[in-house]
Structure 1
Amino acid sequence: MCDICGEQGTQSQCPTCRERDGQGRAFPMDRNNWTIGGLFEVSWAAFKREWVMLTVCALLFLMGVMLGGAVSEVLKLVGEKMGGAASVVFILLGTVLSWVVQGVAIMGMMRVCLDVIQGQRADVGRLFSQVNKVGAYVVSNLLAVAIFLPIILLCFAVMVGAFVAVAGISVSDLSSVSDVKQLMEMTQASVLLVAVGLCVLIVAVPSIWIGMPLALVSVALADTENPKVIDTIRKCFGYVKGQRLSMFGAAFLATLILMVSVFLCCLPVIPAMGFFYLLFAGLYLSLSRGEQRES
Structure 2
Amino acid sequence: MPEMDWGGGHQAGAHCALHPEAPAQGTCTRCGNFMCATCTGGGRQSSCPTCRARTGGQEFPFTRDTWSLSGLWDYCFPLFKREWVMISVSVLVVLGITLIVQLVGNVLPMIGQALDSVALSVGLTVVSFFVQNVVQGVLGLGVMRMLLDVLHGQRADIGRLFSQLHKIGVYLVSLLIVFLGVALLMGLMAAILFVIAVPLDTFPPSFEEMAWDSTRIVAAVCVGVLFVPVLVYLTLPLYLLQPELAYAEHPSAVQAIRNCYAYMRGQRLAAVGFGLMNMVLLFVGVLACCVGLFPALGMSYLLLAALYLSLRSGDAPRG
| TM band (smaller chain) | 0.7 to 0.9
Q: Does 1:35 align with 2:68?
A: yes
Counterpart position of 1:264: 288
Instruction: Please give the secondary structure, in 1, of the residue aligned with 2:291.
Output: coil
* Aligned match for 2:139, one of 105, 108, 119: 105
Counterpart position of 1:247: 271
Q: Does 1:54 align with 2:87?
A: yes
Counterpart position of 1:181: none
Amino acid of the structure 2 residue aligned with 1:291: D
Q: Does 1:73 align with 2:106?
A: yes
Counterpart position of 1:182: none
Q: Judge conservation of contact 1:58–1:109 (CA < 8 Å) in 2.
A: yes
Separation of aligned partners in 1, 2:93 and 2:240 = 21
Counterpart position of 2:159: 125
Separation of aligned partners in 1, 2:142 and 2:132 = 15
Separation of aligned partners in 1, 2:120 and 2:293 = 38
Question: Deviation at 1:174?
Answer: 11
Question: Deviation at 1:214?
Answer: 1.8
Separation of aligned partners in 2, 1:163 and 1:260 = 40
Structure 1 residues 80 and 212: alpha-carbon distance in aligned structure 2, compared to 1, 3 A threshold: farther
Instruction: Please give the secondary structure, in 1, of the residue aligned with 2:128.
Output: helix
Q: Does 1:134 align with 2:168?
A: yes
**Structure 2, unpaired ranges of 5+:** 1-29, 31-48
Structure 1 residues 83 and 43: alpha-carbon distance in aligned structure 2, compared to 1, 3 A threshold: farther
Separation of aligned partners in 2, 1:49 and 1:173 = 63
* Aligned match for 2:231, one of 203, 207, 211: 207
Q: Judge conservation of contact 1:79–1:87 (CA < 8 Å) in 2.
A: yes
Structure 1 residues 174 and 121: alpha-carbon distance in aligned structure 2, compared to 1, 3 A threshold: farther
Counterpart position of 1:144: 178
Amino acid of the structure 1 residue aligned with 2:124: F
Structure 1 residues 24 and 102: alpha-carbon distance in aligned structure 2, compared to 1, 3 A threshold: same
TM-score (norm 2): 0.71
Among all aligned residue pairs of Structure 1 and Structure 2, give the percentage whose two residues are the same amino acid.
37
TM-score (norm 1): 0.76
The Cα RMSD (Å) is 3.4
Separation of aligned partners in 2, 1:50 and 1:151 = 40
Separation of aligned partners in 1, 2:192 and 2:112 = 33
Instruction: Please give the secondary structure, in 2, of the residue aligned with 1:216.
Output: helix
Counterpart position of 2:129: 95
Question: Deviation at 1:257?
Answer: 1.1
**Structure 1, unpaired ranges of 5+:** 1-6, 8-14, 177-185
Q: Which has the higher helix share?
A: 1
